[in-house]
Amino acid sequence: MNYDIFIWEIVSFVSICIISSIIYMYFEYQDSNKFYKLFVPKNDSIWERIKVLLAPTLLLILIEMLLVNVTPNFMFAKLISIVAMVMVNPLLFIIYFNFSKWDMVVINVLTTISSALIGLLVSVLVLNIPTLPDPIIYISMVGIIMIIAFYLIATFFQTNDFIFLDPVTKKINLKKEHQ
């Protein structure tokens, strides 16, 4: 394995953890700014937890693509990494919330870090695979583009589905509107 990429994977993991933790610290701040909506959660819903993890991950994938001589498996590794993180993060939240019925920022941050760690491990494992066939690489690029599109659509055009529902307040609206 190329150690430059491995070091960048570690840097990405640490950056995702730091950025996500900072985002959770600004959770109570509410704003109608569209740029702000892209990163900071508006409630405790499953989607907003995924968003806190996805925003820095997608940003760091772009930075890594620009600064590092990536391997052919890079896109597939990132796609599988994102899928793993997006599956693990809500699963951990659902498990602890159903058992405890309370929500703590510390546990939110720890579940996000755990999800990012699983994403890092998956990414490193896939990067160690010999070069994949070109169709898999192209499909991976399309998959990441579809994730970005879904991210933008789900952030700006939310519906009344359970994924957007805050389990504490049972509403979709901003927290400050509940006070």
pTM: 0.83
The better pLDDT of the pair 103, 38 is held by 38
In the predicted model, is pLDDT for residue 29 greater than 70? no
In the predicted model, is pLDDT for residue 96 greater than 80? yes
Gap between the Cα atoms of 115 and 122, Å rounded:
11
Instruction: Quote the mean pLDDT of the chain.
Output: 82
Gap between the Cα atoms of 86 and 112, Å rounded:
10
Task: Tell me the pLDDT band of 162, cut-offs 50, 70 and 90.
Answer: confident
Mean pLDDT of 104-108: 76
Q: Which residues contact 52 (CB under 8 A, 6 or more apart)?
A: 20, 23, 24, 39, 40, 41, 112
Q: Sign of the C-alpha dihedral, residues 60, 47, 40, 105?
A: negative
Q: Based on the number of CB atoms within 10 Å of its own CB, is 140 exposed (0-12), middle (13-18) or buried (19 or more)?
A: buried
In the predicted model, is pLDDT for residue 2 greater than 90? no
DSSP string, 100-150: H----HHHHHHHHHHHHHHHHHHHHHHHTSPPPPHHHHHHHHHHHHHHHHH
Mean pLDDT of 136-153: 93
The phi and psi torsions of 172 (rounded to 5 degrees) equal: -100, -20
In the predicted model, is pLDDT for residue 177 greater than 90? no
Residue with tokens 């997006």: 86
